[in-house]
């Protein structure tokens, strides 16, 4: 998606060979016009996949997921990273390791909102090693849902995540695929 690639080049900062900061438009400050365009793009790509719910992991995936859900006219479900006193009982949980933070956490889905009649679209901000997306898939499957596909804003194509998800048979649609990062260098897949 040229709009997202242009925004990454204009405002993103490659800190090293694995870290891209996009906090001015995705992570801390959110560009709603860009998120609307991203939501439209994902909705267009997955429009015939029978999506009944959009799933995302808190917190950076929320904005693109809610716009995607809006354009698909379906609910959006947030997978929680933190345990909660009010989120108990009918839940599915799985452990995942964050590439960015280098920590593991328990991801939780309330089974009150996803069931075997659902076909879910997973939206996430980054794809590196595929751990977060794979964790979201595990939770959706624990609820008995089908997976329509996985929408990614920014894919680090030089890491193994895409292939891991493709090998599992999922439609992976990434809006910006980065071939190479280094300090001050951002190169996209051509």
Q: Known binding site for xanthine: residues?
A: 20, 27, 156
- Cβ atoms of 163 and 80 within 8 Å: the answer is no
> Strands of 146-156's sheet, edge to edge?
76-79, 53-57, 119-127, 146-156, 172-182, 185-188
104 dihedral zone (left: phi>0; alpha: psi -120 to 50; beta): beta
- Cβ atoms of 122 and 137 within 8 Å: the answer is yes
Residue 169 tokens, joined: 């048979």
The phi, psi pair for 54, rounded to 5°, reads -110, 130
Asked whether the bond before 59 is cis by omega within 30 degrees of 0, the reply is yes
Residue 54 tokens, joined: 């959009």
Q: At what angle do helices 32-45 and 62-72 cross, to 10 degrees?
A: 50
Feature table: binding site: 20, 27, 128-132, 156
The enclosing H or E element of 146 equals strand 146-156
Feature table: binding site for 5-phospho-alpha-D-ribose 1-diphosphate: 128-132
């Amino acid at each position: 998606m040229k709009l997202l690639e242009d925004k990454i080049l204009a405002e993103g900062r490659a800190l090293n060979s694995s870290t891209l900061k996009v906090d001015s438009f995705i992570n801390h400050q959110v560009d709603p016009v860009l998120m609307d365009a991203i939501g439209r793009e994902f909705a267009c790509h997955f429009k015939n996949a029978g999506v009944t719910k959009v799933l995302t992991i808190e917190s950076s995936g929320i904005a693109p997921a809610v716009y995607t859900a809006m354009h698909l006219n379906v609910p959006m479900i947030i997978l929680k990273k933190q345990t909660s006193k009010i989120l108990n009982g009918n839940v599915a949980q799985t452990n995942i390791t964050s590439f960015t933070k280098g920590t593991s956490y328990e991801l939780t889905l309330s089974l009150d909102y996803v069931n075997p009649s659902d076909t879910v679209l997973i939206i996430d901000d980054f794809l590196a090693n595929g751990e977060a997306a794979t964790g979201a898939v595990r939770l959706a499957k624990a609820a008995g849902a089908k997976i329509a596909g996985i929408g990614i804003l920014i894919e680090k194509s030089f890491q193994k995540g895409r292939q891991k998800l493709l090998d599992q048979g999922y439609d992976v649609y990434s809006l910006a695929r980065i071939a190479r990062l280094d300090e001050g260098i951002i190169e996209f897949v051509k």
